[in-house]
Structure 1
Amino acid sequence: MKAVLFDLDGTLIDTAADFIRIIQDMCREKGCAVVAADDIRVQVSEGARAMVKLVYPELDVEDPVFLAHRQRFLDLYGADIAVDTDLFEGMYPLLAELEQHQIPWGIVTNKPRWLSEALLKALNLTERCAVLVCPDDVSKTKPDPEPMFLAAKQIQTDVQDCIYVGDHPRDIDAGRNAHMYTILAAYGYLPLQHKDDLTAWQADCIVNTVSELHQVVRELVIPTLNPASATL
């Protein structure tokens, strides 16, 4: 393997706390029962629509009123995008080791580019990330393999030589459809309806912690280099 690509929310970066803060504030503003943090967390990978639906279950997602609430949610998030957000614990050493061995790492996400770029900037990752592919960049998003092909092309690496790490079935499907090596991040925001049988996702590998992910990535990437250089 010659490159590592990550999904963003719930895989590389732990963004749930900021989403939870905003959704719970919206509940208080509406005067309804505050949605539990765990119920919000499992919807993060489903996107803004699913999270806002927790506050406004009575509205159709295509209702202009609902869309206005969704836009307000995105605006609030964009204004304070990294208050309680950081990389998952253990991810900094993993990225540092990849960079030490000049292995490019990047992101393929369904998060809009304006939010993705703002998040990377807030966490000082912009210059470190070799490639960022967002829905704005493609005609079809994950689980279609188009974003994966674009990411591999931009880092000049064959798709078969890329690892893709994600916490949603569409991540694994996109990686598999592009013939990448797929890793299911079981520590992430697993969708409630898909978390009982992780083997059904058909990922090449399942990891339960970032530490496990680091070990698997090291075993897949470092052997292509000088084994004596693997010091971490």
Structure 2
Amino acid sequence: MTSAILFDLDGTFADTAPDLGAALNHLRTLHDRPPMALETIRPQASHGSLGLLKLGFNIEPDAPNYADLRNAFLDYYASHICVHTTLFPGMAELIDILEQRGLPWGIVTNKPHRFTMPLMQALGYAQRASCLISGDTCARAKPFPDSLLKASELLNIAPQLCLYLGDDKRDADAAQAAGMRCIIARYGYIGSPEELSRWPAEGEIDRPSQLLKYLTY
């Protein structure tokens, strides 16, 4: 029996790629580069500023101007955090069902608190979530298990009774290390679908409603 459900944020709970892509393209425009297609940006959207700046500028953190680019990207994103971002289709209905069943749910993301809380507030779900764990809540973010274990602690529910839904290998790795069951959101920002079979997950879903079949046996 599953007693709590935890969600990754970017690429699982909400489709944040349009606003992350807009921030990247804003920066590219400032540097006289053409905008990139959302379809190109989407697979990197779960990898934060590191992955997006690598994609948009082919730059690594040790580059001299990396910090300035990153700060400009994050500042723009912070001020345009929920312009085009929406829940994935069917997620609102899934949350309603979980709440009707009395099942607590929460967010465990690598997104810093600076962005997690404003985004969840803008979406209207900050107060409904039983816990909001950001990438800087614990000393180590996913793929380490710390943030998932923190969520388990806050919910007062054993890790083995929690189910985690994510769209990246680090989500599956963190869940495995925490002793949680993990399901992969195939509708999210999956870069290489052929690799999914090697991820330590119990199953995969193509839309949020399919998670319901994993809640009980």
**Structure 2 counterparts to residues 48-127 of structure 1, below 5 A:** 48-57=49-58, 59-127=59-127
Question: Could you say which residue in structure 1 is the equivalent of 2:204?
Answer: 206
For the residues of structure 2 that align with 1:200 and 1:38, how far apart are their CA atoms?
A: 24
Q: How far apart, CA to CA, are the structure 2 residues paired with 1:167 and 1:175?
A: 12
Looking at structure 2, the residues matched to 3 and 125 of structure 1 have their Cα atoms a distance apart, in angstroms, of 16
User: 1:4-43 alignment to 2 at 5 Å?
Assistant: 4-43=5-44
Q: Which segments of 5 or more consecutive residues in structure 1 lack a partner in the other structure?
A: 224-232
Give how far 1:152 is off: 0.3
Distance of 1:41 and 1:129 partners within structure 2: 25
What is the TM-score normalised by the length of structure 2? 0.94
> Which shifted more, 155-164 or 47-56?
47-56
Summarize deviations over 1:67-86 as a string: whole Å, max 9, x none: 11111111111111110011
CA distance in 2, matches of 1:128, 1:171: 22
Structure 1 segments, 4+ long, off by >6 Å, are: none
Shift in Å, 1:64: 4.2
Q: Could you tell me whether the CA contact under 8 Å between 2:183 and 2:204 is conserved in 1?
A: yes
How far residue 185 of structure 1 moved from its aligned partner, in angstroms, is 0.4
Post-superposition CA distance 1:167-209 (Å, at most 9, x none): 000001111111111100010001x3x4223111121011112
Distance between the aligned counterparts of 1:208 and 1:123, measured in 2? 22
Match of 1:195 among 193, 196, 199: 193
* Cα offset, 1:60, TM superposition: 3.1
Is this contact kept in 2: 1:35–1:54, CA < 8 A?
Answer: no
Question: In structure 2, what is the Cα distance between the partners aligned to 1:165 and 1:183?
Answer: 5
**Alpha-carbon contact 1:56-1:66 (below 8 Å) kept:** no
- In 2, the alpha carbon distance for the partners of 1:55 and 1:44 equals 12
Equivalent residue, structure 2, for 1:46: 47
Tell me which moved more, 5-14 or 39-48.
Answer: 39-48
Q: Which amino acid aligns with 2:52?
A: M
Deviations along 1:130-164, whole A, 9 cap, x unmatched? 00111222111111111111100000100000000
Inter-partner Cα distance in structure 2 for 1:174 and 1:77: 27
Q: Which amino acid aligns with 1:80?
A: H
Q: Partners of 2:195 and 2:101 in 1: how far apart? A: 35
Counterpart of 2:147?
Answer: 147
* Secondary structure, counterpart of 2:72 in structure 1: helix
CA contact (8 A) 1:3 1:105 kept: yes
TM-score (norm 1): 0.89
One-letter amino acid of the counterpart of residue 86, structure 1: T
1:162 matched to 2:162? The reply is yes
Deviation of the 1:31 alpha carbon: 1.1
Counting aligned pairs with the same residue, the percent is 36
Q: CA RMSD in A?
A: 1.4
- Specify the code of the residue in structure 1 equivalent to 2:48: G
CA drift of 1:38 comes to: 1.5
Aligned length, in residue pairs: 216
